[in-house]
Amino acid sequence: MTLIMNTSAPSRRWLRSTGAVLAGFVTVFALSSAVDAVLHAVNYYPNDGTPGSDLQLAVALAYRTAITVLGGWVAARLAPANAMRHAVILGILGTLAGVVGVVAAWSIGHHWYAISLAALALPSTALGGWLFTRASR
């Protein structure tokens, strides 16, 4: 009797898992950048390099949080298994990126905004994952 091991299934699952998290990240990055660009184009945000007012940053935090929820939903939707795990991994990566952003932007001001982005990354993606799993029952 010959035992043949098929190693393509685990590697394909790993690729799909990586792709799901990457798709969630691209969703957040692309949509956030697009909304930022539109708001700069209509002169809602300053175009002179200044960080903007607290109100403008609160608006940015609101739409970025909503987009991050969507990113968690996308990661969960595309995950080959364990949808919530993929959303949480995306959130952890977002939190790490947010912490880098806090450190990099510390001298610019409006510390609450950068800290809030980092703090809300994981809960937002987890909410997106939960919304997907709830809807798919």
Kindly report the backbone phi and psi dihedral angles of residue 47, in degrees, each rounded to the nearest multiple of 5, phi listed first. -105, 15
Give the model's pLDDT for residue 1.
54
Question: What pLDDT is attached to residue 92?
Answer: 98
Question: Can you give the residue range of the structural domain that contains 73?
Answer: 15-135
User: Is the pTM for the entire model greater than 0.95?
Assistant: no
For residue range 79-99, what is the model confidence (pLDDT) as tens digits?
999 999 999 999 999 999 999
Residue 1 lies in a domain: no
Which residues lie below 8 Å from residue 60, measured CB to CB, with a gap of 6+?
36, 39, 45, 52, 113
The DSSP code for 53 is -
Position 8 in a domain: no
5 lies in a domain?
no
- Burial group, residue 28, by CB count within 10 angstroms (0-12, 13-18, 19+): buried
For the chain, percent helix, then strand, then coil, each to nearest 5?
75, 0, 25
Which residues of the chain register pLDDT less than 70?
1-10
Q: Is residue 2 part of a domain?
A: no
User: What is the C-alpha to C-alpha distance for residues 28 and 25, in angstroms, rounded to an integer?
Assistant: 5
Q: How many domains does the chain have?
A: 1
Q: Is residue 68 part of a domain?
A: yes
